[in-house]
């Protein structure tokens, strides 16, 4: 079991899936909900400028070109777009317009009380203690900013958004690219070394470290196991309570 980690930072940048929130909630609740309700959402909003923009963005992705080459598709019709959305969700592809569309679908579920965002028990208490200590909390997830706000704003622990100062998604770059973390540090107006990134993915931790940030990998239940080399080369924690954080002077 990992020991407590003594860390100094100004910003705590957190991933969501596998870090603040269980992977099973994302894959077993959110993804199926978006898949089940995609057709109805498209049908109800098809004439809106926002939906038409997202459809065109989806059809302009390399994933759609690959998909269309193997499928008999007639282009931007509701049935075809729905089938493509199902394809992307089934393959868990990180496509920005899909993430935006999923967020819009989930918003209806949260508003209707059909969805509640999962967070681990240690998340609300540590968010509060970190904020009281003067630390800035920010989120970086492949899910859209809107989807992030839904999870934390409608969580099983209540509204956690007052603890969070900034949100970032793949509009700043993909999560295993060094430049993404450089962009985030610039947006937060802090040196990268004063940012602590918490994630469950080794490639993301490595990219953050390459940009100059600190990182800790979370070993939550259900997360991918780490190799001996990975545990030797990265800081590891089972939960947020093991992080003894102090604010950078």
55: how many CB neighbours lie within 10 A of its CB?
22
CA triple 121-127-130, angle to 5 deg: 135
Beta bridge partners of 216: 198, 235
Burial class for 28, CB neighbours closer than 10 Å (0-12, 13-18, 19+): exposed
Task: Supply φ then ψ for residue 11, to 5 degrees.
Answer: -125, 135
Binding site annotation covers 24? no
From 224, 151, 145, select the one nearest 184 (Cα to Cα).
Answer: 145
DSSP H helices, 71-191, are 78-91, 96-111, 122-132, 145-153, 178-188
Binding site annotation covers 238? no
Binding site annotation covers 175? yes
Binding site annotation covers 17? yes
144: how many CB neighbours lie within 10 A of its CB?
23
Binding site annotation covers 49? no
Binding site annotation covers 215? no
Cα torsion at 223, 14, 99, 102 (round to 10°)? 80
The encoded tokens of residue 133 equal 């200590």
Residue ranges for the binding site?
15, 17, 141-142, 175, 200
Residue ranges for the binding site for substrate?
141-142, 175
Residue ranges for the binding site for Mg(2+)?
15, 17, 200
């Amino acid at each position: 079991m990992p020991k407590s980690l003594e860390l100094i930072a100004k910003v705590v940048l957190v991933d969501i899936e596998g870090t603040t929130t269980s992977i099973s909630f994302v894959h077993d609740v959110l993804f199926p909900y978006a898949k089940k309700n995609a057709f109805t959402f498209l049908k109800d909003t098809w004439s809106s400028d926002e939906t038409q923009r997202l459809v065109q963005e989806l059809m302009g992705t390399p994933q759609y070109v690959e998909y269309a080459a193997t499928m008999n598709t007639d282009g931007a019709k509701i049935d075809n777009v729905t089938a493509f959305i199902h394809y992307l969700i089934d393959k868990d592809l990180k496509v920005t317009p899909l993430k935006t569309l999923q967020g819009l679908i989930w918003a209806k579920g949260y508003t209707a009380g059909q969805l509640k965002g999962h967070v681990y028990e240690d998340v609300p208490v540590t968010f509060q203690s970190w904020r009281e200590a003067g630390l800035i909390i920010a989120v970086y997830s492949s899910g859209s900013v809107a989807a992030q706000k839904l999870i934390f704003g409608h969580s099983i622990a209540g509204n956690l958004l007052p603890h969070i100062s900034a949100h970032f998604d793949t509009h700043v770059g993909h999560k295993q690219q060094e430049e993404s973390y450089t962009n985030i540090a610039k947006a937060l107006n802090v040196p990268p070394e004063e940012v602590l990134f918490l994630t469950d993915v080794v490639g993301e931790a490595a990219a953050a470290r390459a940009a100059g940030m600190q990182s800790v990998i979370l070993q939550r239940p259900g997360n991918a196991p780490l190799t001996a080399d990975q545990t030797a080369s990265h800081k590891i924690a089972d939960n947020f309570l093991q992080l003894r954080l102090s604010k950078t002077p």
